Structure 1
């Protein structure tokens, strides 16, 4: 049995996470016309899109491994739901950051909570097995 058939919601959630990350990179890329390579500064709208993308990548490399470590222990609904909350948090973060970077806190906190749930979901079963 593959991970896709054993955990379809977690797999779908992972696809949503990756799709949102691709979307965030496209937002940065579309703005690129106003900033000549290799610069990453000079146009405020590009800088916002670049920061949204970069922060999403920073979160992604931590979140996905934790999600896939936690989901087998807590179930597919847990994995898919946690991924969905992460994506919603990122969407809120991105929208708020584009409007006014000082208002990004709500989306960041939602993302951070999903990350914490995945972290604890991976850590608790591991500690229970070890001790």
Structure 2
């Protein structure tokens, strides 16, 4: 069973939902009306945090599950939790200033690459 990976998946989705709510709150706070996608730096940063999270999810979630299936549920969940932690650091930094997004991006990027490399390596080893 993959209980830990399932939990991390649900936490990743919860974090994404949080970023969606944050964009809505930012619209209200900054006065950026729908359908505008720009107009205030605070809103634009909130929106980019949400979109960047969404852009990474199709890379991370399949890799997370394939890693869990082919290697280890616990290790996949640990790396997935690190990815979420990186997204949180990214959120905190980028919310303050665009220049402060780097550390969180690095953490989540390393976690995502580890999941993908592990998954592809394990799959290829079984195919060959």
Same fold (TM over 0.5): yes
2:44 to 42, 47, 58: 47
> Do the aligned partners of 2:5 and 2:73 also contact (CA within 8 Å) in 1?
yes
| Cα root mean square deviation, aligned | 0.9
Partner of 1:25: 20
1:109 to 98, 106, 109: 106
Work out the CA distance in 1 between the residues paired with 2:81 and 2:126. Answer: 28
Offset, 1:125:
1.2
Runs of 4+ in 1 over 6 A off after TM superposition: none
Partner of 1:84: 81
Normalising by the residue count of structure 2, what TM-score does the alignment of the two structures yield?
0.94
Structure 2, unaligned stretches of length 5 or more? none
Structure 1, unaligned stretches of length 5 or more? 1-5
Work out the CA distance in 2 between the residues paired with 1:78 and 1:62. Answer: 17
Offset, 1:100:
1.4
2:37 partner SS: coil
Offset, 1:22:
0.5
